[in-house]
Amino acid sequence: MSEVSILAIDLAKNSFQVCGVKANGVVVFNRSVSRTRLLQLLSAQEPCIVAMEACATSHHWGRVARSHGHETRLIPAAYVKPFVKRQKTDHADAEAIAEAASRPSMRFVAVKCAEKQARAVAFRTHQCFVRQRTQLINALRGHLAEFGLVAPKGPASLKLLEAALAKPDVDLPGPVREMGALYLQQIDQLTQVIEQLADDLESATKTDEELRRLCTVPGIGPVTAGAIAAFAPDLETFESGRNFAAWLGLVPRQHSTGGKTRLGAVSKMGQCDIRRLLIIGAMSVIRWVVRKGCSANRWLASLVARKPRMVAAVALANKMARMIWAMTTKGEDYRMA
């Protein structure tokens, strides 16, 4: 198979569609292979371009292909879709991946190392447990509200509910008290795990120079810094901070034509976790500015005075993204302008 220039793989769990294409674009083969057969194919194939969609398990297979001397190209699924001919099938998808990989102007996703993906697993685990705890708290609040016990939202209200369940004079059936105790037990276990994961993230900011540098920016804490380190590619791959902010989706969506520029809401095209955390951090900075009534940052004070808070938060998150790019690429800490 020395004539194969591009090896396009449509990923799956057990059955993979592999399309081999020559340098002139002629398809050599397009067949389905098993997981074991794919490993054998990558090891037997002479070094070529291995193209895949940037989806689940793509970084693992990208590392496997690199270990056999191949050049790996991961393509966003949205960029492959225009090259699919007619109906969507595995056969057509593999051909579309090969066609997209051959385009000179195509943008590719950098293959993540195992250590970077391990950071992502830690972050996802923390966020998953936080959502599960919120679900349990809301379920407990909803059940007890049916018996006249109403509490505010958030973990802080658990003390009120726990005290109400413990009082014998509160009119509650026995099964409700038992189920409430089970809810409180599960919430307490999740809280301990969440605090442990948060402590691990915070301790990492003291030993990791990159995380420590990111935490010097107002509005960025250990969780946000961990998300940036886990999900953002090498920031030196971006030509400027504006490009990094655009990758995060913190720029207006354009619908321009005929020389007329039409800008809408933010595009939300990039990594959603980093974008969400930057906006939350920006909102916390804005709340501090509003509470204090002034800010050393004249640009921010003027922006908060003129614009709604969410608009100002998105603008500040955009600026924070550009600062993160500048600090990372130059190796400098945050400095107040």
pLDDT bracket for residue 182 (50, 70, 90): very high
CA 266, chain centre distance (Å): 17
Q: What's the pLDDT at 11?
A: 93
The pLDDT tens digits of the residues spanning 235-262 come to 888 889 999 999 999 988 888 888 888 8
Q: Which residues contact 95 (CB under 8 A, 6 or more apart)?
A: 8, 19, 27, 30, 83, 85
The token pair at 43 is 């090891």
Classify the C-alpha dihedral 194-200-206-208 as positive or negative: negative
Rg over CA atoms, the chain = 25
Q: Which pairing describes strands 49-53 and 27-34: parallel, antiparallel, or unpaired?
A: unpaired
Cβ atoms of 267 and 251 closer than 8 Å = yes
Helix (H, G, I), strand (E, B), or coil: what is residue 333?
A: coil
The pLDDT tens digits of the residues spanning 56-95 come to 899 999 999 999 999 999 999 999 999 998 888 999 999 9
CA neighbor of 282 nearest in space, from 253, 245, 247, 243: 245
Compute how many other C-beta atoms are within 10 angstroms of the C-beta atom of residue 87: 7
Q: Is 247 exposed, middle or buried (0-12, 13-18, 19+ CB in 10 A)?
A: buried
Distance CA 211, CA 226 (A): 7
The pLDDT tens digits of the residues spanning 258-304 come to 888 887 788 878 888 999 999 999 999 988 888 776 666 788 888 88
pTM of the predicted protein model: 0.81
Residue that wins the pLDDT comparison between 335 and 18: 18
Q: What's the pLDDT at 245?
A: 92
Q: State yes or no: pLDDT of 2 exceeds 80.
A: no
Cβ atoms of 324 and 281 closer than 8 Å = no
Distance CA 138, CA 205 (A): 32
